[in-house]
Chain A
Amino acid sequence: MSSLAAQLITNGIIAGAIYALVASGFSLIYNVTKFMNFAHGATLALGAYFMFAFVSGHVPFWAAIILTLIATVIAGEVVNRVVYKPLRKRKASTAVLLIGSLSAMIFVNAIILAIWGADIKTIQLPWQNPVLNIGGVLITGVQVTIIMVAAVLLLGLWLLMKRSRLGIAMRAVMNNKEVAQTVGIDPERMYSITFALSSALAAVAGILIGIEQNLHPTMGTALVIKGFTGAVVGGMVSVPGAIMGSLILGLAENIGIWWLPSGYKDAIAFALLFIFLLVRPQGLFGKKTREA
Chain B
Amino acid sequence: MALINYFIHLAVLIGIYAIFTVGLNIAVGFTGLLNLGHVGFFGIGAYTSALLALAGVPLWIAIPAAAIVAGISGLVLALPTARLKGDYLALAALGFTFIVGSVARNWTDLTRGPLGLPGIPRVVASTPLFLVIVVVLTVIIALAVHYLMKTRFGRTLQAIRDDELAAATLGYNTFLHKVIAMGISACIAGIAGALFAHYISFIDPSVFGIGDLILVLSMLIVGGLASIPGSIAGATIILLIPEPLRFIGFPSSLIGPMREILFALILLIIIIYRPKGILGKVDLQ
Q: In the complex, are the beta carbons of B210 and A106 less than 8 A apart?
A: yes
Q: A100-B268, A102-B214, A228-B91 are in contact. Are A93 and B86 (CB under 8 A)?
A: yes
Q: In the complex, are the beta carbons of A277 and B264 less than 8 A apart?
A: no
CA distance A109 to B261 in the complex (A): 9
The reply to whether the CB of B217 lies closer than 8 angstroms to some CB of chain A is yes
Q: In the complex, are the beta carbons of A96 and B99 less than 8 A apart?
A: no
The binding surface of chain A is classed by DSSP as helix
CA distance A292 to B92 in the complex (A): 13
CA distance A84 to B275 in the complex (A): 14
Mask, B212-227, CB within 8 Å of A = 1, is: 0110010001000000
Q: What are the residues of chain B within 8 A of A291 when measuring CB–CB?
A: 85
The reply to whether the CB of A92 lies closer than 8 angstroms to some CB of chain B is yes
Q: What are the residues of chain A within 8 A of B99 when measuring CB–CB?
A: 266-267, 269-270
Q: In the complex, are the beta carbons of B211 and A106 less than 8 A apart?
A: yes
Interface set, chain B 73-104, CB cutoff 8 A to A:
80-81, 84-88, 90-92, 94-96, 98-99, 102-103
CA distance A177 to B81 in the complex (A): 29
Contact of A100 among B94, B210, B271, B285 (CB under 8 A): B271
Q: What are the residues of chain A within 8 A of B211 when measuring CB–CB?
A: 106
The reply to whether the CB of B257 lies closer than 8 angstroms to some CB of chain A is yes
Whose C-beta in chain A lies nearest to the C-beta of B92?
A: A277
Give the interface centre of A38, A103, A111, A225 by most chain B CB atoms within 10 Å: A103
- Chain B interface residue number, banded: 35 or more
Q: What are the residues of chain B within 8 A of A277 when measuring CB–CB?
A: 80-81, 84, 88, 92
The reply to whether the CB of A13 lies closer than 8 angstroms to some CB of chain B is no
The reply to whether the CB of A27 lies closer than 8 angstroms to some CB of chain B is no
The reply to whether the CB of B267 lies closer than 8 angstroms to some CB of chain A is yes
Whose C-beta in chain A lies nearest to the C-beta of B36?
A: A102
Interface set, chain A 251-292, CB cutoff 8 A to B:
261, 263-264, 266-267, 269-270, 273-274, 277-278, 281, 291-292
Beyond A114-B254, A267-B103, A273-B95, 14 additional pairs, beta carbon < 8 A: A90-B275, A93-B86, A98-B34, A99-B221, A99-B271, A103-B263, A104-B264, A106-B263, A106-B264, A111-B257, A221-B98, A228-B91, A273-B92, A277-B81
Nearest 4 A-B pairs (CB), nearest first? A263-B106, A107-B264, A110-B260, A95-B86
Chain B residues engaging chain A, CB cutoff 8 angstroms: 34, 36, 80-81, 84-88, 90-92, 94-96, 98-99, 102-103, 105-106, 210-211, 213-214, 217, 221, 253-254, 256-258, 260-261, 263-265, 267-268, 271-272, 275, 284-285
A-B contact pairs, 21 of them (CB 8 A): A36-B91, A92-B271, A94-B86, A95-B34, A95-B284, A102-B36, A103-B264, A104-B264, A106-B210, A107-B260, A107-B268, A110-B264, A111-B257, A218-B210, A221-B98, A225-B95, A261-B106, A266-B102, A270-B98, A273-B95, A277-B84
